[in-house]
Structure 1
Amino acid sequence: MTKSKFTIISDDTKLIETMKMIEKSYHKIAFIINNQQELVGTVTDGDIRRALLRENSLQVPIHDVMNRNPIVGNEHQTEVVYQEVLKKYKIQYLPILNEDNEIVEIVQVDKIEKNIFSNKVVLMVGGLGSRLRPLTNHFPKPMLKIGNKPILQIIIEGFKNNGFINFVLCVNYKKEIIQSYFQDGKAFGVHIEYIEENKRLGTAGALSLIKEKLDEPFFVMNGDLLTQVDFSKLLEFHSETNSIGTMCVREYEYQIPFGVIDTSEHKLISIQEKPLKREYVNAGIYMLDPQALMHIPYDTFYDMPELFNQLIQQGLNASVFPIHEYWMDIGQLADYEQANKDYERVSSDE
């Protein structure tokens, strides 16, 4: 495979610019070169998310964020050797270098078709949608339309486009509308099962009703979210961090409308006028290992934050996956109106 199809950038490119290029690229990786055209590193989706968690400025050069020791091949090796290296290190792309450490080509692992994953996707779609009344008086919130499709259909198609086709829908309010529309999922090219909640169980309680024994990580997502996250990257991140639970988080900005005072005992140290604060907040998308189910009480109201707090208190490895892609929580009428505007803009861009 030639190198012309890949993203190759200089090591002084800003992090924000690299993020945009990787998001638009098919391969989701950038190869970093210096002024002498030598390969000095690589940057993947995971590298960028870890940089965001370290609170790196978006203006830092990618040289400060990149993986400085990428796996490489040399131009005198054979294709068979390249494929062995790719499989040994479980990587998708291998830069091939000449004697001057310049990229002559980039080899991709042999693939016949797009990956299809067996991991389950559990969608919480049983809520009342009280804040969206009167729209939800006769329809469950996940069935409200964005453009010409229900929110839930857009979510399912997003997972399907990333290779995930096995769904469990946790239903309650107006469940017959959801079940009648999606049935077993065959018409949408997926497989759908249902968990029927007879009472409110929160954002995690319904997981205790899963009858099938799960043996691999699974997704849990609120059924009122729109996002362009690549869910295969979330699975990859979850596996790399060896976590029992991974929570997707989103940066939230807010401005304190007063001057904030810093003191030391009675002394005034500084005054910061109306500072802008940034915090990570729960984005309502999770990845759990099956053993996490052991910590959820059976058929009892239980929320995801409670589960993660319990995992943390027991010293188990819980991680966060920062989202920098489009994300919208359709909780109120203004959010619903904005989501429709966003959908029109994205559709016209395509």
Structure 2
Amino acid sequence: MTVNWQKVVITPTVSIKDALKVIDKEALRVALIVDNNKLVGMVTDGDVRRGILKGVELTDTVNKIMNNTPLSANVNLATEELRKIMQQRQILSLPLVDDEGRLVGLKTLYDTLAVQKRENPVFIMAGGFGTRLKPLTDNCPKPMLKVGDKPMLETLINNFKNHGFYKFYISTHYLPEVIMDYFGTGERFDVEITYVHEETPLGTGGALSLLPNTLPNEPLIMINGDILTNVDFSKVLDFHAKQASDATMCVRDYEIKIPFGVIEGEGHEITAMVEKPTYRYFVNAGIYIISNHIINSLPKNERLDMPTLFEIKQQAGFKTLKFPIHEYWLDVGRHADFNKAQVDIHDLGL
């Protein structure tokens, strides 16, 4: 069901009768009241009925009956979060506003339940040795370690599948047969899986050069196979497309708290003293969107990591951007992370 939300936008001075025509004509069954691009109210046929019972005339302006404190959500919220809000409030649609309160869209419950099929390929890096998780990885690739009741790699694939992705490429090196025996062609999971084997580790960037020439001509999502996350990958792709980016790196906000007073100075001279400061940085989240022409430009079988690839392309004049993610994200690289993942998985709904 495709709807045009702009058709249900009216101003506060429109008559109730005209507002009712909008409500009855459009499938959304609601009218959004906007003043100076700001969402100021919402009207349903129920509001009209209640107004009539109170003696309001159909020729009166709609601001007399509208809900002037309408529920809305920030446009940056993930689809899963929007669905939860609508289900909890038992509503069928939710206006979307930007950080300044300007109306920029409307999401229906149907939109959040329907899965749009994505042709974008997903490349999952699953060839590492998982040295820091020994002895758990002595006979098992790290992405195949179970978090909850299934391997991390299966959870990752399921999350992508829930957002409409079905074309997967998996990079293997260490114990590839464990991964291939479990997933096969992907048919059992209702996806398509192609394996890309690294004879020698090529790094995340170098592995891209091994992808087949039959790769779909769409931006590719690349992700480390040991990441547990509920990121809405569709939003990252939409950002990449709208910004005409050549390569996009997902980043996380990371804080370092210093438990002491920090002294700044030049030589022996003290220029400033900061008591127990907190420093914030963006760190690489191990998730990338790479345009097809970047992949085609890579030399075959040469070792290259992703940060270096971004540096090379940036210096060559390509557009390389960062996309901050705020959703749950965990790099399961150490035993402490693995133990945390076992607890967190129960609240993620993955």
Q: Distance in 2 between matches of 1:146 and 1:9?
A: 45
How far 1:210 sits from its partner (Å)? 1.1
Preserved contact between residue 217 and residue 288 of structure 1 (Cα < 8 Å): yes
Which of the numbers 306, 309, 332 marks the counterpart of 2:308? 306
Tell me the residue number matched to 1:162: 163
Structure 2: gaps spanning 5 or more residues = 1-27, 33-38, 42-67, 87-94
Preserved contact between residue 115 and residue 162 of structure 2 (Cα < 8 Å): no
Q: Distance in 1 between matches of 2:78 and 2:220?
A: 29
How far 1:273 sits from its partner (Å)? 1.2
Which of the numbers 278, 282, 285 marks the counterpart of 2:284? 282
What do you get for the CA RMSD once the two structures are aligned?
3.6
Q: Which residue identity lines up with residue 151 of structure 1 in the other structure?
A: M
How far 1:295 sits from its partner (Å)? 4.3
Preserved contact between residue 295 and residue 307 of structure 1 (Cα < 8 Å): no
How far 1:26 sits from its partner (Å)? 2.6
Worse overlay, 18-27 or 301-310: 18-27
Which of the numbers 90, 97, 112 marks the counterpart of 1:42? 97
Q: Deviations over 1:73-99 (max 9, x none)?
A: xxxxxxxxxxxxxxxxxxxx46xxxxx
- Cα 1:144/1:21, change in 2 over 3 Å: closer
Tell me the residue number matched to 2:144: 143
Q: Which residue identity lines up with residue 187 of structure 1 in the other structure?
A: R
TM-score computed with the length of structure 2 as normaliser:
0.71
Tell me the residue number matched to 2:231: 229
Match status 1:340 vs 2:336: no
How far 1:25 sits from its partner (Å)? 1.1
Alignment coverage as a number of residue pairs: 281
Q: Deviations over 1:229-279 (max 9, x none)?
A: 001111101001100000000010002343223457876443111201110
- Cα 1:20/1:205, change in 2 over 3 Å: closer
Q: Deviations over 1:104-146 (max 9, x none)?
A: xx88999995310111000000000000000000100011001
Tell me the residue number matched to 1:25: 82
- Cα 1:180/1:28, change in 2 over 3 Å: same
- Cα 1:114/1:9, change in 2 over 3 Å: farther
Worse overlay, 115-124 or 294-303: 294-303
Preserved contact between residue 78 and residue 232 of structure 2 (Cα < 8 Å): no
Q: Distance in 1 between matches of 2:268 and 2:69?
A: 46
Tell me the residue number matched to 1:181: 182
- Cα 1:268/1:17, change in 2 over 3 Å: farther
Tell me the residue number matched to 1:80: none
Percent of aligned pairs sharing the same letter? 40
Q: Distance in 2 between matches of 1:18 and 1:293?
A: 31
Q: Counterparts in 2 of 1:60-71, with a 5 A limit? A: 62-63=99-100, 66=101, 68=102
How far 1:300 sits from its partner (Å)? 1.7
Q: Counterparts in 2 of 1:106-121, with a 5 A limit? A: 113-121=114-122
Tell me the residue number matched to 1:132: 133
Preserved contact between residue 79 and residue 112 of structure 2 (Cα < 8 Å): no
Q: Which residue identity lines up with residue 223 of structure 1 in the other structure?
A: G
Q: Deviations over 1:306-345 (max 9, x none)?
A: 1001111112101111110000000011100000010134
Q: Distance in 1 between matches of 2:96 and 2:126?
A: 43
TM-score computed with the length of structure 1 as normaliser:
0.71
Q: Which residue identity lines up with residue 221 of structure 1 in the other structure?
A: I
